[in-house]
Chain A
Amino acid sequence: MRHLRPLLLCLAIPGFALSASVEMPEWAEPTESERFALGGGLFPVGLLPNQPDGEEEDDATVAEASNSENDSTVPQPNPTRFYGPVLDTEEGATEAAGEDAAGSQEVAKTDEADVVEEEILEEEVVAYEPLPPIEGELEDLYFAYKPVDYLIDPQRLLTEQKSNDIKRFLEFHSDESNFHIYVMVVGETQTIPEDVNLNALHKEWFSDQPTVMMLYYREQPERTEFVFSEKVRSALPTSVFERIGQYCLREGAATDDAPDQVEKMAIELSIQLYWLTRLADAEGSEAKEKVASSELHEMPASEDAPELLREYVPGIFVEDSGQWVPFVVTVLLVLAGICLFGFFGWLALWWRSREKVPGKPLIFPNFDVVPRLGGEYSGGSFVGMSFDISDHTSH
């Protein structure tokens, strides 16, 4: 029995060691853990290998990829494929299906973060509050009195900063041009009351002054209306005004943001009004025909072109003097610079070598000299000077 105890102990120790288990922390269940998207949802599902949803499939995908590199089910990075945020899940899946079946399945699995972002985006798109109809006090704000500012936006439909920019631009335009611009901003769901006649209002407010009123519906530039005075309308053909409207609408359609649309359209309208003024000044029937047929921008700019327009859109001005003038000026400036550089270089060289005697050897002609004082080489020619400070005499 004495001999059996150590033997049993030796056998029991490994048994206990084998039966013991390591104490591990308790992991939360996958369903209970908070889910998050790797990369903040910037990348589509399946592109990153360790995303929670596609974990199992990714493992399989990696395994398959290790077996066969040319397997078509493996989502390979494709330069023509869009890896940004997918706003519309169905569209994304449809597009991806055309390119890659496996990729489409992965893209279709949008996680919750993407869904939340989409909801936020949709909420931003339709964030506008419903606007009241233009009547009563609001109607008075718009149409009761002649506007003081060039931008009429009592509902503050545009952002404050952009409104200030547009106001400043319109004021500058009015300073530079006689053709003033008034911009009236209304909501997209609002309509002008039936009892309001814009042409009559224009005549009442501005009489025969060259003024245009631009009625802009928020984010709907195609509904923009331009109200000119009768005098201006009668002076020029209708095609001119249609073209002005088209140019402005084209500019407005370049962006989706309402303040930007107003700004772009106001700038374009300002440009068009400048040409309109020039067309109105054209005399004679031939000039009128030319006006009606030719493009506005093809006309050369005059010296009295508003400087503001030159600053905003310098590219529209066609210089009448031709393209060779700036070239010649540039060449002359370059030549002048080279000459100046050479002059200063020569000056520097001269300054450095002013105490030297450079040049080729100089040979003097021979002279027939008669010796004097019995000197064989010198006749005693001498010039002297004293440099003693106390003695200023010199010889």
Chain B
Amino acid sequence: MRPVDHEAESCYSCGYSDFQASSTYGSNRVMLNRVTDAAACLRKHDRDELAAVLDGLELRFPQMLFCAYLGNLPSHLSLSELGFWLLNHGQVRGAEYARPNENAILLVMDMTTKQIGISLGYFAEVLISDEDAYKALVAARPNLINEEYGEALQTIFLKLAKVLKRNGRKLRKHVSGKQKSKKVEPPKNILDLPPHLIPGISSRTETETKRTA
């Protein structure tokens, strides 16, 4: 689903875009819980433990939004399309302004086709690479096969949190070193991102000064 050109308005191969998704699934906003269990596959014990884990993660990463959607999807709705549409049209309760959807890590799971996926917002996809996300999914595969969905979601979120922690330290080191040297350097690909995901890494202060100038 990843487009070839990061500035493309639609996929060059299939022509998919937010406009097409909106026309298919609706252009309205939907309200989501932090863990939306539409498939009713989580027990109360699992929900409580998962909520505790998410609370800890939100404390550790105040900018990030961790959410999950579990449902029985119709055959014509793919998991990637659902993730794309939910991130652009969904609104998680309690995270309206502090945690925008571009910082979201959305875990979507289809109980019908037994598939699970991770949809990332613009901000989160810079911090989490595809390889790290796939490793997190693989780590939870035993739990998923054993139908231990609560444990599986916990494992995935905790693995992603470790990736965030590692990459966040790298970025902070880079930013603090740049502030100490006070030299304007071209942005480096600190996290070994794909070419279309290399943004201009800058602190908020620098961005604001540029805008004011």
> Which residues of A pack against B, CB within 8 Å?
355-359, 361-389, 391, 394-395
Docked-complex contact B141 and A385, CB < 8 angstroms? yes
- CB-CB nearest 7 A-B residue pairs: A384-B117, A374-B18, A388-B114, A377-B101, A378-B87, A387-B144, A369-B122
Docked-complex contact A374 and B62, CB < 8 angstroms? no
A375 to B101, CA, bound (A): 11
Secondary structure dominating the interface of B: helix
A320 to B41, CA, bound (A): 77
A364 to B105, CA, bound (A): 15
Docked-complex contact A357 and B162, CB < 8 angstroms? yes
Docked-complex contact A377 and B122, CB < 8 angstroms? yes
**7 CB-based A-B contacts, threshold 8 Å:** A374-B9, A376-B18, A376-B88, A377-B87, A380-B119, A382-B83, A382-B84
Docked-complex contact B117 and A382, CB < 8 angstroms? yes
Docked-complex contact B88 and A377, CB < 8 angstroms? yes
Q: Which residues of B contact A358 (CB under 8 A)?
A: 60
Q: Which residues of B contact A378 (CB under 8 A)?
A: 83-84, 87-88, 101-102, 104, 119-122
> Which residues of B pack against A, CB within 8 Å?
1-3, 5-11, 16-19, 56-57, 59-63, 79-80, 83-84, 87-88, 100-102, 104, 113-127, 130, 133-134, 137-138, 141, 144-145, 154-155, 158, 161-162, 164-165, 168-169, 171-172, 175, 199-204, 207
Q: Which residues of A contact B155 (CB under 8 A)?
A: 355
Docked-complex contact B119 and A364, CB < 8 angstroms? no
Docked-complex contact B117 and A367, CB < 8 angstroms? no
Secondary structure dominating the interface of A: loop
| Least CB distance, B147 to chain A, in whole angstroms | 10
A389 to B138, CA, bound (A): 13
Docked-complex contact B165 and A359, CB < 8 angstroms? yes
When C-beta atoms are compared, the residue in chain B nearest to A387 turns out to be B144
Docked-complex contact A368 and B199, CB < 8 angstroms? yes
Docked-complex contact B145 and A389, CB < 8 angstroms? yes
A347 to B10, CA, bound (A): 51
Docked-complex contact A383 and B134, CB < 8 angstroms? yes
A381 to B162, CA, bound (A): 19
When C-beta atoms are compared, the residue in chain A nearest to B80 turns out to be A382
A119 to B167, CA, bound (A): 99
A389 to B147, CA, bound (A): 12
Q: Which residues of A contact B9 (CB under 8 A)?
A: 372-374
A362 to B64, CA, bound (A): 10
Q: Which residues of A contact B202 (CB under 8 A)?
A: 365-368
A394 to B137, CA, bound (A): 10
A388 to B1, CA, bound (A): 22
Please indicate which of the listed interface residues A378, A379, A391 has the most CB atoms of chain B within 10 Å of its own CB. Answer: A378
Docked-complex contact A369 and B17, CB < 8 angstroms? no
Q: Which residues of A contact B203 (CB under 8 A)?
A: 365-366
Docked-complex contact B17 and A379, CB < 8 angstroms? no
| Least CB distance, A221 to chain B, in whole angstroms | 82
When C-beta atoms are compared, the residue in chain B nearest to A359 turns out to be B60
Docked-complex contact A372 and B7, CB < 8 angstroms? yes
Docked-complex contact A386 and B165, CB < 8 angstroms? no
Q: Which residues of A contact B175 (CB under 8 A)?
A: 365
Docked-complex contact B120 and A381, CB < 8 angstroms? yes
Docked-complex contact B63 and A364, CB < 8 angstroms? yes
| Least CB distance, A371 to chain B, in whole angstroms | 7
Docked-complex contact A364 and B168, CB < 8 angstroms? yes
Docked-complex contact A385 and B3, CB < 8 angstroms? no
| Least CB distance, A353 to chain B, in whole angstroms | 11
A365 to B200, CA, bound (A): 11
A374 to B88, CA, bound (A): 9
Docked-complex contact B158 and A379, CB < 8 angstroms? no
Q: Which residues of A contact B200 (CB under 8 A)?
A: 367-368
Docked-complex contact B201 and A362, CB < 8 angstroms? no
A289 to B167, CA, bound (A): 81
A159 to B137, CA, bound (A): 84
Docked-complex contact A361 and B87, CB < 8 angstroms? no
A123 to B201, CA, bound (A): 109
Q: Which residues of A contact B17 (CB under 8 A)?
A: 373-374
| Least CB distance, A378 to chain B, in whole angstroms | 4
| Least CB distance, B7 to chain A, in whole angstroms | 6
A377 to B172, CA, bound (A): 23
- Partner pick for B56 among A356, A362, A375, A383, CB 8 A cutoff: A356
A357 to B79, CA, bound (A): 28
Please indicate which of the listed interface residues B57, B63, B115, B158 has the most CB atoms of chain A within 10 Å of its own CB. Answer: B115
When C-beta atoms are compared, the residue in chain A nearest to B171 turns out to be A365
- Partner pick for A385 among B7, B104, B116, B169, CB 8 A cutoff: B116
| Least CB distance, B78 to chain A, in whole angstroms | 9
In addition to A370-B6, A383-B137, A384-B137, 6 A-B residue pairs with Cβ atoms within 8 Å of each other are A362-B60, A364-B164, A367-B202, A379-B125, A385-B115, A395-B115
A215 to B113, CA, bound (A): 104
Q: Which residues of A contact B164 (CB under 8 A)?
A: 362, 364
A13 to B30, CA, bound (A): 121
